[in-house]
Chain A
Amino acid sequence: MLGRTAHGIHWMFRYLERAENTVRLLDAGFHMALTRDLVTSEEEWRSVIQTAGLKADYEKANATYSGIQVWNFVLRDKANPLSVMDMIDNCRTNARLARNAISEELWEGLNVAWMEIKELFSRPISQRNLGDALALVRNAGTLVQGSLEGTMLRDEGYAFARAGTFIERADNTARILDIKYYLLLPSLAHVGSSLDTGQWDTVLRSVSGDRAYRFLNAARIDSRGIMEFLILDDRFPRSLAFCYSELQDNLAELARLHGAEGECSALMRDAGQKLSETSIEDILDTGLHDFLLGFIAQNSAIAGAFAEDYRFVS
């Protein structure tokens, strides 16, 4: 496969994953804001913008934080350098670049989803159709992942796609956890208070993990349990441990197909080993923030070596 084509498939799935995660974040924020008074809900929207890494750009264009401003900014505003619409556009552009290496169903599924999203996002999103807008993006992700599973040849193209999904997801989960934790710091003193529980619930919702967590933990919401769940529980498909286990498998598969390991395989092995030997106590000793910063840097080093090893650019 051409290096440029591999690059296309990989980034198609990275952008798709990022769009999906951004939409989850909005969904959690919306849910939270609905159950709060005006002042707290404004705080909640501020936190969504911060978590999405858009504070500076948002404040350049807006003086206040209202729900409708925030979700329109995140989803479709031209002043946002990477809106969800841009992510979906980039996802499709990369799919077009790799058009002859992805299955027809995969392409058509994405193309139809893109048309629907473009249509709905061409006008401001009201509170009434926010639910539809978010569902449309999430469903696009589900549809594309489903066609990938069901129709793509299990060769290097598939591995490049999967690696893209999990590099991006690991990064996104780590960032959400880092920023949410930071924003929650003041309230950590009131462990067990209802505000605290509600806030932690949003963290779980942001990664669609609220039901799974409750199922495993019988409704006991505590910050330590949630951190452990999102970082180390390899049963949960958006945890760091799960992402790394999948990423490791896909890199190993690529090395097998190519008959040689690259720089990224060595980095991956080290990172995987380190994570599997880490306990929640170790993380709390280091400090969550430092741990997550280290993780994000290491993740992007793996991504960089990966692009180099497989000749994404000349």
Chain B
Amino acid sequence: MSDHMFDEMYGTTEPGKGEIRGAYSGYCEWLDEQEPEYLRRKQRDADREFRRTGITFNVYGEDDAEERLIPFDTVPRIITGSEWRRLSKGIEQRVRALNAFMHDLYHRQEIIRSGRLPQRLFRDNVAWLPHMVGFTPPGGVYTHIVGIDLVRTGPDEFMVLEDNARTPSGVSYMLENRETMMAMFPDLFTQVQVRPVANYPRRLAKSLAACAPPAASDKPVVAVLTPGIYNSAYFEHAFLADQMGAELVEGSDLRVIDGRVAMRTTRGYEPIDVIYRRVDDDYLDPLTFNPNSVLGIPGIMDVYRAGGVTIANAPGTGISDDKAIYSFMSEIVEFYTGEKPLLPNVETWRCAEADSLKYVLDNLAELVVKEVHGSGGYGMLIGPTSSKKEISTFRRKLEANPENYIAQPTLSLSTVPIFQKSGLAPRHVDLRPYVLVSPDGVDITPGGLTRVAMKKGSLVVNSSQGGGTKDTWVLDD
């Protein structure tokens, strides 16, 4: 691996060798005319703006349950219109395949009968829900909202790192980052034509309403279900409910009455048609899943199966963003669409398979090893930045339970500069576009959330581990 990476603004991180790439030409022209002190002040203004609006998240396990800000960087991440068109075709193909896959898994299981996918992948999988077998959700939609995590390693090399098909978060940052950039630098947006993202909540409301269950009225009632004020993403739940004009409900507001899910309003109980839930499957229905849960609504699964309510995303979709399933995504895409995948996966070794395990054990120092069910950047090994001791500790965990892990090469993730006191400095980024699925089609908001590792050389972009965000522009060209 060379020391220099692909930088999206300059082409390379090698000092003095870069040349401004097309996507950034408009921005850099503007940037050249700005005083450094002005930019520094604006960076501080942006932080204040985020605090003011209360865009904070809570970190689990911290003493004071202190609300924290996700660092925001004022240098945008820019994608050209033609790059985006190519990306969105690949994303749409993938999301359609994911939905078809979910339907198949919970019905005839053709993909397993055909021998393309081993049965063990879902037989023992905790995300597999027997309650969904033989049931088709309203409109045939399983994954109403999907976040596809993309990484880039070169001018034309985009890859999918992860499919988030449970309750992908972060979309409020996509919206607020743009709001903030427009408030900070209005002149910039008159010089560079950027495709808007602000209508996402309206599109989300429309997409959810289009998936209303048979029992719904003409004007479906939509509610966002949150675990409550102490959840790390509470701000986002409240934000989306507010922007959609939907109710923000907790489990304790809901109960099943006359075959419908109803919320306790100031006028009494009123039915809900579509629940955009931001709780895990386990916390949906204590009768079905977790008898100890205080967060769920007893009986909601029976109402769901009888067509009395839509749950978005459908219960049981977690199985499709499992990392072992991920490693089969190109087979899955081909099986259901009859086409080659337009967006490749990152090469992945399944440690459950003997040959792969041997390779992974022999090359631990060069690889990234992840837990199959893990998320948030926890429980993983990044070989090249780990000590000998960390690697040998991890080796023992891996040998004891190989089917719990997959491995991937350490990628030279692309960089985009961040703004620092001393000037611009390259940092690694990824991209999470947000995809809405309804019977009306697949709707992708141009751009998404760019997460950036704020520490020099770091590849971990997760906000729980100090990652920041950037506004993501898709040029209107």
Given known A-B contacts A99-B242, A100-B248, A111 and B54 have beta carbons under 8 A apart: yes
- Among residues of A, the one whose C-beta sits closest to the C-beta of B263 is A2
Distance, CA A112 to CA B268, complexed state (A): 35
How does the 8 Å CB contact mask read for B30-65 relative to A, with 1 for contact and 0 for none? Answer: 000000000000000000000111100000000000
B253 contacts the other chain (Cβ, under 8 Å)?
A: yes
Does A220 have its Cβ within 8 Å of any Cβ on chain B? no
**Inter-chain contact A100/B238, CB cutoff 8 Å:** yes
A6 touches B266 (CB 8 A): yes
A295 at the interface (CB under 8 A from B): no
Q: Verify if A69 is at the interface (C-beta below 8 Å from B).
A: no
- Let me know if B229 and A96 touch, CB within 8 A: yes
Interchain CA distance A94-B52 in the complex, whole Å: 17
Cα–Cα, bound, A50→B52 (Å): 36
Q: Are A112 and B52 in contact (CB under 8 A)?
A: yes
Of A97, A100, A108, A311, which contacts B265 at CB under 8 A?
A311
A4 B253 Cβ-Cβ under 8 A: yes
Q: Can you name the residue of chain B whose Cβ is closest to the Cβ of A1?
A: B266
The answer to whether A2 touches B249, judged by C-beta atoms less than 8 angstroms apart, is yes
Q: A93-B229, A107-B54, A111-B52 are contacts. A4–B264 as well, Cβ < 8 Å? A: yes
A310 to B264, CA, bound (A): 10
Q: Does A100 lie within 8 Å of B234, measured CB to CB?
A: no
Contact for A3 among B51, B242, B265, CB less than 8 A = B265
A258 near B: Cβ within 8 Å? Answer: yes
The CA of A96 and the CA of B56, in the complex, are separated in Å by 12
Q: Chain A nearest CB: distance from B101 CB in Å?
A: 34
A63 to chain B, nearest CB (A): 30
Tally of A-B Cβ pairs under 8 angstroms: 61
Q: Does A27 contact B (CB under 8 A)?
A: no
CA distance A107 to B53 in the complex (A): 8
Tell me what chain A mostly uses at the interface: helix, strand, loop, or mixed.
Answer: helix
Asked if B252 is an interface residue, CB under 8 A from chain A, the answer is yes
B242 to chain A, nearest CB (A): 4
Is B250 positioned at the interface, with any CB of A under 8 Å from its CB?
A: yes
- Inter-chain contacts of B253 with A (CB < 8 A): 2-4, 314
CA distance A156 to B263 in the complex (A): 17
Give chain B interface residues in 264-285, CB to chain A under 8 Å: 264-268
State in angstroms the CA–CA spacing of A100 and B234 once bound together. 12
**Complex contacts, B242 vs chain A, CB 8 Å:** 99-100, 104
Residues of B216-271 at the interface with A, using a CB-CB cut-off of 8 Å, are 229, 234, 238-239, 241-242, 246-250, 252-253, 263-268
- State whether the Cβ of A284 lies closer than 8 Å to any Cβ in chain B: no
Secondary structure dominating the interface of B = mixed
Q: How far is the CB of B244 from chain A (nearest CB, A)?
A: 9
Q: Tell whether, in the assembled complex, residue B52 and residue A2 are in contact, meaning their CB atoms are under 8 Å apart.
A: no
In angstroms, Cα B51 to Cα A93, docked, is: 15
What residues of A have a CB within 8 angstroms of the CB of B51 in the complex?
111, 115
Given contacts A2-B247, A2-B253, A3-B253, contact A258 B266 (CB under 8 A): yes
- List, in ascending order, chain B residues with CB within 8 A of A4's CB: 250, 252-253, 264
Docked pose: A5 CA to B239 CA in angstroms? 15
Rounded to whole Å, the gap between the CB of B294 and the closest CB of chain A is 13
CA distance A311 to B269 in the complex (A): 10
Within 8 A of B (CB), among A104-137: 104, 107-108, 111-112, 115
A196 to chain B, nearest CB (A): 48
CB distance from A86 to the nearest CB of B (A): 15
Contact status A3-B266, CB under 8 Å:
yes
Which residue on A lies nearest to B246, using beta carbons?
A: A100
Given contacts A3-B253, A108-B54, A111-B52, A97 and B229 within 8 Å (CB-CB): yes
How far is A4 from B253 in the complex, measured between Cα atoms in Å? 7
- Which chain A residues lie closer than 8 Å to B248 at the CB level? 2, 5, 99-100
Nearest residue in A to B255 (C-beta to C-beta)? Answer: A314
> Which residue of chain B is the closest to A103 with respect to CB atoms?
B242
A310 proximity list for chain B (CB < 8 A): 266
Which residues of chain B are near A108, meaning CB under 8 Å? 52-54
In contact, B264 and A111 (Cβ under 8 angstroms) = no
User: Which residues does chain A contribute within 8 Å of B246, judged by CB atoms?
Assistant: 100
Q: CB-CB < 8 A to A99: which residues of B?
A: 238-239, 242, 248
Contacts of A107 in B (CB 8 A): 54
Tell me if B229 and A311 are in contact (CB < 8 A): no
List residues of chain B with CB within 8 A of the CB of A97.
229
Residue of A nearest to B245 (CB): A100
CA–CA, A97 and B228, complex, Å? 8
- Determine the residue in chain A with the shortest Cβ distance to B54: A111
C-alpha gap A293/B238 in the complex (Å): 41
**Residues of the A chain whose Cβ atoms lie less than 8 Å from the Cβ of B229:** 93, 96-97
Choose one: A6, A111, A314; the contact of B53 (CB below 8 Å).
Answer: A111
A-B contact pairs, 6 of them (CB 8 A): A2-B247, A3-B266, A108-B54, A311-B264, A314-B252, A314-B264
Q: Beyond the given A4-B250, A96-B238, A107-B54, could you list 16 further A-B residue pairs with CB under 8 A, ordered by the A residue number?
A: A2-B253, A2-B264, A2-B265, A2-B266, A3-B265, A4-B264, A6-B266, A96-B234, A99-B238, A99-B239, A104-B242, A111-B51, A111-B52, A111-B53, A115-B51, A311-B268
Across the A-B interface, the 8 shortest Cβ-Cβ residue pairs: A100-B242, A99-B238, A100-B241, A310-B266, A111-B54, A100-B248, A3-B264, A6-B266
Q: Contact residues of A with B, CB < 8 Å?
A: 1-6, 93, 96-97, 99-100, 104, 107-108, 111-112, 115, 156, 258, 310-311, 314
Residue numbers of B with Cβ under 8 A of A are: 51-54, 229, 234, 238-239, 241-242, 246-250, 252-253, 263-268
